[in-house]
Amino acid sequence: MTTLTPRKPYSPEELEQLYPKGLKLQLVQVFLRHGERTPVSSRFQNTGLAPYWPYCGVARRMVQMAASNQELSSWNGFQWRRKMESFGDKDQSIVAVGAGDEIEGICQHGELTDKGRETTYALGQRLRHLYVDQLGFMPEIKTDSEDMYLRATPIPRALESLQQAFWGMYPTNARTLDFPPPVIVARSVSEETLFPNEGNCRRFRQLARLFADRAASRWNDSEQMDYLNKLWSKYMPEASPKVAVDAHPRLSGIMDTINATDAHGPATKLPSEFYDKKGRAVLDRIAVEEWFAGYNESNEYRKLGIGALMGDVVDRMVSTAVDGGWRSETSASGSNDPESGKSIKFAMSGCHDTTLAAILSSVGGFENGSWPPFTSSIAVELFSQAPNDRADVGSMLEEFSNPRVASKKPGVLSSLFGNKPAAQPLAPSETARTPLESFPEETRESLRKHYVRLRFNDQPVRIPGCASKAENHLPGDETFCTLDAFKGIVDKFTPKSWQDECMQNLGAGLHGPNDEERIPAGY
């Protein structure tokens, strides 16, 4: 499957089951794969597939950059139109044209297309329908984005998809006229953890290559690969005539072009053999093993590939559960007034297929999974047990809606650090990266009264370490993990220093010295 076919909105009966009255939703973290895009490189032009695709008309109309006067004291929007050039048959510069001789609206490789913008905007609309219209968790009209955290990887299609999803969730008529520009958090590529960062983590790059080589040795001479060769080898380049995991193009590269062509118009299609149902099922199975088997088998792979991000995910939930709310200076307007800070209720991150599959695989929720389609998403939801009486309701409302009260709430580790008061809202939380076993029993009990649930494309995810023990999940529903159990699982693959650990165990093979226990994913 290439383009996600979203399910219908939850019915009242489904909502009642998915969001029990005994639980109160407190924090939502959404990770969304970008929408439909062009292939990341030109392949199979020998089949007649155009190297340039004419599906980026929106980008052509929206292109804008900042321009200043000579003193750099003021800025204006500089509008411009994009056209693309290419090499001619004599290496001369010629205009790049699309499949139908278009010369504008031409996409670059890996660029979000008009359809990708439509599907991510529609994802935002679905998020609004659930969290605003059906659950009333987020307000109908926004005056600012102080209670939201928006982040994207440095890759443009992820940022643009995040923007589309935000606009779908809060369109113009759902924002006040004085709504300030929202903050979108970014990181340097060298420090990016919102996708598995092979380029800047040497040990993870080694592990990824080792697992890819293992997949090649397992599958290149198999009956399944023979079937793919019968379908596609006649279209492979002369220098690499056989279809293989490590051929050129790689098997995953073939999948990239198939999926991108399948998502767009008839002018950019491969020969029919590429869409053979059995062939695509084989392709998906092998590619998933090549890219994601490491998360199931290796704790070191989980730790370096997605552990830093999952550590952040858990830290935010722990701060929400025991510190009076999660706050982030990067997501706020820049005010240093601690009493003006709001707790974050909704986070949205623009990322990639490798992010989503890594999250699911690392917690044991991707068994027999298929490659995530364009515009897939994971919602990580945190719940607390609902209060039982009016006094509890009033106390909770005051605690989580009044920044003054929240900022005075004692920190989770106060008993370990001489009853030190909690940090101010914009200061780092003292709970960050604190191992579960270091928490006081009183705090552990609080974590057991909070529940975590993952929904992948609106389907709840079963995490084996939570489902296997009654004390680790909500009675009657194994998909709700206690925050205590979920943190215990994630702690096992949260690095203490991601950058340092990326330089350890170099050359140690498929399983390094710290991976001897072979902890299964999700436990």
Catalytic residues, which ones? 34, 353
Query: Contact 207/304 with Cβ under 8 angstroms?
Result: yes
326: helix, coil or strand?
coil
CB 214 within 8 A of CB 509: no
The SS3 assignment for 77 reads strand
Name the one residue in this structure whose structure tokens are 């997605």. Answer: 306
DSSP assignment of 442-507 equals HHHHHHHTEEEEEEETTEE---HHHHTSGGGEETTEEEEEEHHHHHHHHHTT--S-HHHHTTSSTT
Helices assigned H by DSSP within 298-430: 299-302, 308-322, 353-362, 390-401, 403-408
Residue 495's DSSP bridge partners are: none
Number of other residues whose CB lies within 10 A of the CB of residue 125: 14
Amino acid residing at 515? D
Residue with tokens 């491969």, as numbered in its chain: 270
**Coil, helix or strand at residue 264:** coil
Structure tokens, 394:
């009033």
